[in-house]
Amino acid sequence: PQLATSYSKLLGGLSDNSNLQNSFIAYAQPLREGRLGAYGLAWNYFTLDSLYREMSLYGSYGRVLWERRHPGKFFGGASVKYLNRSLGTTSVSGNAIGSTGFATGTADPVLGNSSKGNMDVDLGFLYRPKPRWTLGLMIQHALEPNIAFSSNDTDKLGRNVKLGGSYKTPFSTLSSDLGLTKAPDGSIDRSVTFGTEKWLPTLVQGTFGIRGSLALGSRSFRQLAAGLSYKIHRIQFDYGFTIPLGGIAGTYGTHRMGVTFRFGRLPQEDTNLGEAILEN
């Protein structure tokens, strides 16, 4: 069982002084030590000052697939999500701008209806052809919900697909993924990410993790990311930093901080840490 929390300060230093923040908390519980899979509950909250808010509630379940024929190779899961977004009070919401470009003195029909809720589903699959190799497929916004504030408008969340792969050694991981994101105009944006992670164990002071990645994609998307972790016994502290190299300018990047707690019996890889150190 695990409890994970994180807080993110997004794209600080923008020229309009926008204050973008994201908070997240999740709990995951194995069922019969994972023999019946695991379920998870999560809450995600994004804000843009007092002008705009997004809240997401997740109920997730995942498990091994085709265990008898292919033990430990295929995994699948799904998240059912409730999405809600709302607008804060602005001068325009109570005094709409008409077709002539002047204020009408009446409430805006869209901004006045400042909250919208939707149901959505995400799907995920993993395949492990060999013990150190993992391939993954993620389908986000499978229902493509209409999140427009007005019932007369259409603003669908596009269905996004991500394909990834990783190779894991006792203390490091190499990974890469291809993301296909549906843009608002209906086109498909593509991005490729290359990442690496290295764990540096010690016998008495816990374990340190370092990681980095480079992402390239459509619309001048270029991004560097780096991270640090410290894990000791049942608790892990994480920090991540992301900086865009194209598209968005004038920002000193995104900062993320997280804490994870593990409960119950420690996983096998933690109990065999000493043997893994000697092997390394």
DSSP string, 162-209: EEEEEEE-SSEEEEEEEEEEE-TTS-EEEEEEEEEEEEEE-SSS-EEE
What's the pTM value of the predicted model, to 2 decimals? Answer: 0.83
Report the C-alpha dihedral over residues 187, 188, 189, 195, rounded to 10 degrees.
Answer: 170
Pairing of strands 221-232, 235-244: antiparallel
List, for residues 58-101, the tens digit of each pLDDT value: 999 999 998 888 888 999 999 999 999 988 776 666 677 777 77
User: For residue range 182-223, what is the model confidence (pLDDT) as tens digits?
Assistant: 887 888 999 999 999 999 877 677 889 999 999 999 988 999
- For the cut 80, the answer to whether the pLDDT of residue 37 exceeds it is yes
Give residue-wise pLDDT tens across range 120-168: 999 999 999 998 999 999 999 999 999 888 778 888 888 999 999 999 9
- Which tokens in the block code for residue 268? 């096998």
Helix (H) or strand (E) holding 273: helix 273-279
Distance CA 224, CA 212 (A): 8
| Top-confidence residue, 101 or 242 | 242
Q: Is the pLDDT of residue 248 over 90?
A: no
**H or E segment and range at residue 41:** strand 38-48
pLDDT tens digits, one per residue of 94-112: 677 777 777 777 766 666 6
